[in-house]
Amino acid sequence: MNRVDTRDLARRLRGHALRMTHRARASHVGSCLSMADVLAVLYGAVLRFDPARPDWSERDRLVISKGHAAAIVYAALAETGFLPIEELGTYSADGGRLAGHVTKTVPGVELSTGSLGHGLPVAAGMALAAKRADAGCRAICILSDGELDEGSNWEAIQFAQHFRLSNLVAIVDYNKIQSFGSVAEVSELHPLADKFRAFNWGVHEIDGHDHAELEAVLTAPPPLPGRPTAVVAHTIKGKGVSFMEGLLAWHYKNPDAAQLEAALAELEAGR
């Protein structure tokens, strides 16, 4: 994998997600922008993959458990050579393969997701299989914070430490907002890092928009040797577009033409 400028990649991913949700009149643009930096660092500097061989047995397995953020996941796959960039114009369109939630028939996607709470259990199974095969690859799962309301996650968190899945990484996109309210209102998670620690996970707690921090923790050995790793990534829903940041409404709303233009101008100005 060639080293890329991850900030530039993140900016392109944000631009794609804005255009895609505008064109498709689709929801979840705030969810996409929240994880743009995490995805850019993963694909630009961390993951082991080969777009010419999506099924390469030694690839790292990236499971996107917050499958509603599909637009930016497809954007990342297009920017890294799994899909033609032009295909992003078919996002959520009839007859296309880029469905509104992450779908496994798209090259580079490991698991269809959208029903929250399934990604981490499957990623734990992938990590266990890789460990038993001595394959040397990792399973990395991106979860949303609201998704941790699902009990299946906590079963997987317990399972993963028991089987000493040191090749498993859970990245929590901790933007403090879910679909009908803040995390604090719906089901408070604080102190989230301590919860993982209590389950015998090693934990990094970082700014999920800081590329240097992201790259450092995602390339480091497990902080708790022999155990899985949680990256509690503090983020801002809608990050990168001033009038979307931290606002619940952009979980559902899509940008109209004027808002798209304003958002793209902000991204351009931020270069």
Ligand X SMILES: Cc1ncc(C[n+]2csc(CCOP(=O)(O)OP(=O)(O)O)c2C)c(N)n1
Contact status: 177 vs ligand X (CB under 6 A): yes
- The dihedral over CA atoms of 170, 173, 179, 184, expressed in degrees to the nearest 10, equals 100
Looking only at residues 223 through 262 of this chain, which bind ligand X when binding is defined by CB under 6 A?
Answer: 237, 251
Helices (H), the chain: 6-24, 29-34, 36-41, 70-79, 119-132, 151-162, 183-186, 192-198, 211-219, 257-269
- Is residue 123 within 8 A of residue 160, CB to CB? The reply is no
Contact status: 161 vs ligand X (CB under 6 A): no
Contact status: 182 vs ligand X (CB under 6 A): no
Contact status: 145 vs ligand X (CB under 6 A): yes
Contact status: 37 vs ligand X (CB under 6 A): no
- Is residue 175 within 8 A of residue 34, CB to CB? The reply is yes
Least separation in angstroms between residue 253's CB and ligand X is 13
Q: Residues 6, 21, 31, 166: which binds ligand X (CB under 6 A)? A: 31
Give the C-alpha distances (Å, rounded to integers) separating 188 from 7, 86, 122, 184, 237. Answer: 31, 41, 25, 4, 17
Q: Residues 175, 229, 235, 254: which binds Mg ion (CB under 5 A)? A: 175
Binding-site size for ligand X (CB under 6 A) equals 19
Give the C-alpha distances (Å, rounded to integers) separating 57 from 30, 51, 81. Answer: 33, 13, 18
Contact status: 116 vs ligand X (CB under 6 A): yes
Contact status: 147 vs ligand X (CB under 6 A): yes
Contact status: 67 vs Mg ion (CB under 5 A): no
Closest to 260 (Cα-Cα) out of 14, 12, 13, 18: 18
Q: Which stretch binds ligand X (CB under 6 A): 1-9, 46-54, 129-137, 140-148?
A: 140-148
Q: Which stretch binds ligand X (CB under 6 A): 72-80, 141-149, 215-223, 259-267?
A: 141-149
Binding site for ligand X (CB under 6 A): 31, 34, 66, 68, 114-117, 144-147, 173, 175, 177-179, 237, 251
